[in-house]
Amino acid sequence: MNQTLLVEIQTEELPPKALVKLGAAFANGIANGLKARDFLEAGSVVTTHATPRRLAVTITNVRGTSPDKQIREKVLPVSVALDKDGNPSAPLAKKLAALGFPDLAMADLERAQDGKAESFFYTYTASGSALAGALQDVLLDTVAKLPIPKVMSYQRPDGATVQFVRPVHLLLALHGEQVLPLSLLGLDAGRHTMGHRFLSHGGQIAIPHADNYAAVLESEGKVLSSAEARKDSIRRQLLEKAGADQVLMPESLLDEVAALVEWPVVYECRFEEEFLAVPQECLILTMQTNQKYFALTDANGKLRSRFLIVSNLATDDPSAIVGGNERVVRPRLSDAKFFFEQDKKKTLESRLPHLASVVYHNKLGTQLDRTERVTILASNIARRLGHDVPLAERGARLAKADLLTDMVGEFPELQGIMGTYYARHDGEHEEVALAASEHYQPRFAGDALPSTNTGLTAALADKLETLVGIWAIGLQPTGEKDPFALRRHALGVMRMLVEKRLPLSISALLADAAAVFEGQAAFNDPRADVTVFMLDRLRGMLRERGFSPNEVEAVLAQNPDRVDDVVQRLEAVQAFAALPEAESLAAANKRITNILKKTDAAIGEVQESLLQEQAEKNLAAAIVRVRPSVDAAFASGDFTGTLKTLAQLRDDVDAFFNDVMVMAEDPALRNNRLALLSQLHGMMNRVADISKLAA
């Protein structure tokens, strides 16, 4: 009979950061194991339940007994099963006995082709197995494979030592209302679980039926068994308590807090206004990281002195909870205030010499060495872009100085952010101050790009120095490993070049980056590999923006040295591809490319006197006619207009290939036709290699 299955392990408090993975692995392990053994009906629904004190799963439509199965068993090859007289051999009798069929007659066996020889087969019906027996094996296998961050050994009441992520107190296993006879870690399964440690009615809670699990836990045990349900409750309560203010709810913090409570209740707390003089990023980070609190800001993003906490206790008088949390957060905020005041006593510039004691990489020197390289690079980039060179140099020079501050030492996540605050306090130019934080941008996919010229040059210089330096010492990404985030750095460079439309040559940038490592031992010039790597990141970026692989390849196949207009070229390719002439011209361009690849002879200019066929005369005239329009459109950056103008050539190109033998026997005639095709090819591929659009 099909029923809902419930399996629960009730434990001491599980590690919160591992709870979601443990819950999913437990549920999936049970479900996949039973599915492989044919206990699940089509449409069975698997629900994960994971709280700080339990891992559980419910699965609907689970069979009590797996179906009978038809099994076709290979017995022996005919050459072995029969003796020379065609009678059953001794090995056959032995094999049948081993299979559990000692009394089978030859008539019961099927003789059939088995590859190049013949074999005997026996088909029989195997009875289904009971759920309890199969589930016992599945449970043991699932628990053995759980992604436990650190195994804990503990003693059971009977004195036996067992190992699990945390001590286990109860095992619950129900198929419908029936208890399944399972055992795990010295426990026998029953129908009881434990509710909330403080809010439940006390003692063990009986689950009458597997379908009632979540409802009974909630009503009698004051436990929300679903992590998502707890997150939704927390989110809803936070928004209600925040009122007109904005509540900062990072998803990672919501996940962690939901893994700390079984019955979430949100309360409001406050801290002293004087702490608001500290940069709010410091206060927010210490509240979120150390205390798991939710900060509030006003409509303009300014931090408020009130904050929200998530408690595991519901009470009519939360004053003790609120007061306790306010007392706990005060020393943390005082530490942040102390670090900030102490750091301001020394300028960023005065900290620079001490970067010489911070090792960047043993093959690439110290952070001071790196700062000098980045400063030179930033200066070169600013000069190429016509930006303020002294500002670029100053911004790059001070960008890493905050690594030596007490605040960043306590909260490494604030590097760059604190540099901006301290640079402002030192009286540095605003662009120099912003460069301290902006030179890390973009930090992740979708992050903002630097907003200032100084921040932009520092960001480019920082990423290029990392790419070239780390690659040069043989630490380029391999497979999933990318410890120096070179993929992110390369993508950041390409985003800045494309989105800021910077007229910079990739080869020139990499040449500048390689030059700052001149004389460095163990430096192997990686520019060719880094160029390919960067263009590959650009390919992925453009595909994510909705351009097709063929469109992207049409533009990037020519390995452009500048990419500031790559989006505009792609948009032109898209517009061209939509024209009725596109398919024919792309195919013709592909054909021309292949013809020219096979030509070893030098190709000169087109000689009008050697144009014999009417089709080649028409094509030559058409090229002359459209060239001024193509040149003008391309020069003005109108790439769409450039390609659309070329569409006028379709009929003449088609006629040429229909009527003209390109590889004529006469060398002069052949070379002239190749020159005509070369001229056409160059004009057609100025914006993109449109042959890549051909099917």
The Cα-based distances of 516 to 374, 387, 609 in angstroms read 8, 20, 56
The Cα-based distances of 608 to 353, 396, 605, 679, 684 in angstroms read 71, 59, 9, 13, 21
Q: Which residues of 354-388 are buried (b: 16+ CB within 10 A; e: fewer)?
A: ebeeeebeeebbbbbbbbbbbbbbbbbbbebbebb
Please name every residue paired with 50 in a beta bridge, in sequence order, or none if there are none. Answer: 55
3 state SS of 585: helix
Which pLDDT value is given to residue 521?
66
pLDDT of 202 strictly over 70:
yes
The residue type found at 325 is N
Q: Hey, what are 414's tokens?
A: 């604030």
Which pLDDT value is given to residue 103?
84
Looking at per-residue pLDDT, the higher value among 433 and 103 belongs to: 433
Q: Hey, what are 4's tokens?
A: 């809902």
- Cβ atoms of 445 and 427 closer than 8 Å: no
pLDDT in tens, 46-60: 999 999 999 999 999
| Structure-derived torsion over alpha carbons of residues 630, 634, 638, 640, reported in degrees to the nearest 10 | 60
Helix (H) or strand (E) holding 359: strand 359-361
pLDDT in tens, 276-300: 999 999 999 999 998 999 999 999 9
- Cβ atoms of 286 and 279 closer than 8 Å: no
Alpha carbon 25 to its chain centroid, in Å, reads: 20
- Cβ atoms of 123 and 171 closer than 8 Å: no
Q: Which residues of 671-687 are buried (b: 16+ CB within 10 A; e: fewer)?
A: bbbbbbbbbbbebbbbb
- The count of other CB atoms within 10 Å of the CB of residue 312 is 18
Alpha carbon 328 to its chain centroid, in Å, reads: 36
Check whether the bond before 147 is cis (ω within 30° of 0): no
Average pLDDT over residues 479-492: 93
Which residues, 6 or more positions from 369, have their beta carbon under 8 angstroms from its beta carbon?
356, 360
- What is the spatial distance between Cα 439 and Cα 396, in angstroms, rounded to a whole number? 8
Band of residue 134 on the pLDDT scale cut at 50, 70, 90? very high
Helix (H) or strand (E) holding 205: strand 204-206
Average pLDDT over residues 252-280: 96
